[in-house]
Structure 1
Amino acid sequence: MTEIIELEHNDQKGTFYFKLDDKTEAKTTFVFAGANKIIIDHTEVNPNNKGKGFGKKLVQEAVKFSRDKCITILPLCPFAKSVFDKTPEFRDVL
């Protein structure tokens, strides 16, 4: 099985996709709030894959993106907020 996380974005919004063998199994969407912040507004995981950590991997990728771009994250998505609450090492991007 091949796991790939892809990012598509423009200057207003974006989506991280978790793909397993070329099939999208989860996604996290965000919008830009100015030049220095993104708002994670939704995370969705294929029902057959709940509990496998795919959503957390997408939030982790958003944290990496945020660190690379020197921007902050506002996690409005309840799932993303839960990941941030449980993962202190991600809080530097809040």
Structure 2
Amino acid sequence: MNFDSVELRFYKNDENENLICEITYSFSDSSMIIIDRTFVNDDYRGQGIAAKLVKRVAEMAREENKKIIPRCPFPKGILERNSSLYADVMC
């Protein structure tokens, strides 16, 4: 799934421009990405979309040589449960 990126978020809309999912983030400094929030529309839950959003932020962190601080509980759980995949970007 490809996500659009605008205003410090990755998101996906459906064909009617309704929000399917999004993850918002900010930068604490030049080396940290803070994940502030994740959202998946009820109609799309249970499909692994939020995990894909976290993965996309991790890819960006790797590309920019940054670490992730997850303030939102969902991405924090994803990163911790999959620490072998995300150890290089975890703070």
- TM bin, normalised by shorter chain, reads 0.7 to 0.9
Aligned CA-pair RMSD: 1.5
Instruction: Tell me the CA shift for residue 70 of structure 1.
Output: 0.4
DSSP 3-state at the match of 2:6: strand
Number of aligned residue pairs: give it: 88
Instruction: Flag the structure with higher strand content.
Output: 1
> Given the two structures, how large is their TM-score scaled by the length of structure 1?
0.84
List runs of 5+ in structure 2 lacking aligned partners: none
TM-score (norm 2): 0.87
- Mind listing any 5+ residue stretches in structure 1 that lack a counterpart? none
- Which of 5, 8, 14 does residue 7 from structure 1 map onto? 5
Over 3 Å counting, the alpha-carbon distance change for 1:63 and 1:22 in structure 2 is: farther
Structure 2 residue 27 is the aligned partner of structure 1 residue 39: no
Distance 1:54-1:82 versus aligned 2 partners, 3 A rule: same
